[in-house]
Structure 1
Amino acid sequence: MKSFVIFLILMSSVLNAQEAIKVNFEPIAGSYIGESKKGLAHGVGEASGKFQSYKGEFQKGYPNGKGQMTYKDSTVYNGSFQDGFKEGKGTMTGKIVVNNKVKDTVLTGYWCNDKYCGNKYVTYEVNPFTTVSSYDISASKKGGDSIIIEVSSTSEGGSSVGLNSLSFSSSSDTANYQILSTVETTNKTITTIKFEGFPARIRVGLSDGSRFEADLIKNASWFIRLFVNK
């Protein structure tokens, strides 16, 4: 009898420890069993919510890395995740919308910010209305909330070219941005922006009259370098 009581106490302690582990991704923030770090799901584990369940790799309370998500309608996605969302290569099996019709099928390819983007991993698209001399764009591998825009004059001894206008449009209701800093040198201007609401379209107008426009699809920290001839 005494051994049985001790067993119950130990089991209760284990369950309480598991309940204390937090999953930050709301759709699966119900129950969790697995590895943790500093009170958050971290490592390999399984989490279940009211309509979705997930098993695989976690980082800081979110599905990050390889895993499997099962949805309410029994559709299953196996592949890469970033901060809870499908990001990278994967396969979805089940009821999928194809040509505006729901079909039972298997879809393999790449996902960008939780949306299927085909057989090529596309993280951004530059609008053809862009008129800067050239540009270079890179995104962090992990999620982020910043955009750094560096504008450089390619002519020797040229004065700096800065931002004349800046705007964003996004399908997210929570999209907002804040300019944190602007640093100017002889022929370069660097602007750092805090942004929430990816995917989003960014429109940049420069003081020399040129412009840059692109769709930033991935939830990441972005570094955009724009080059102008003066």
Structure 2
Amino acid sequence: MKFILPFILFLSLSQFISAQENCKVLLHEIDSIYIGKCKKGYAHGKGTAIGKDSYTGKFTKGWPNGKGTYTWANGDIYTGGWIEGKRNGNGKLTLKLADRDSILDGLWKEDMYLGPKPKAPSVITKTSIERHSFQKLGKIHNRVLINFLQSGGTNNTITNLSINATSGEETNLGNSIGYEFVKFPVIIRVSYATMNKLNTLRYQAIFEFEITEPGDWLVKLHN
């Protein structure tokens, strides 16, 4: 009996090593040893790959893909997003220098550091606004549009509307009002009178906010 257990452990370990040897990692610097999940012969899912450098995190079809930590042979460490073996998205690189660490923390694309992650839009003043949202659209305009909503549709009870911005030119697009040719960061202040949902009372609403990240923004105000 005492010989059976070691034999079973040896057999299981041999099968495990064989399975990992047949699981490919496509990034040459970490392709010597792999321990983790596989799919169709490639590292796929959570795993650890070791070569000249090492990586622990998510893989897709043999590539670091998703969130993971990469450690270079010289001690540099990156933790963050990956797409097909390249740093992409939000991540932090710590460079090991002789006297101190140097850190690059922010956004990456195709292994290139783009800079710190922009601050999220912030609210400066909010009065009589039920809820609000900021949405960055996938367009290239430097623009901020504002939609006024109530009970799931456009708020058609607004009067005495006043909008002021630190930059940009006023614009209208359908039911949206705002500014284009904006220079960011921008601060916009909106004030208006509106009826409540029951249409029994008129009150004053104020919403002042700041957006620092350039882009095409849509702000929704619900009353």
Q: TM-score, normalised by structure 1?
A: 0.47
Point out the structure with max Rg over C-alpha. 2
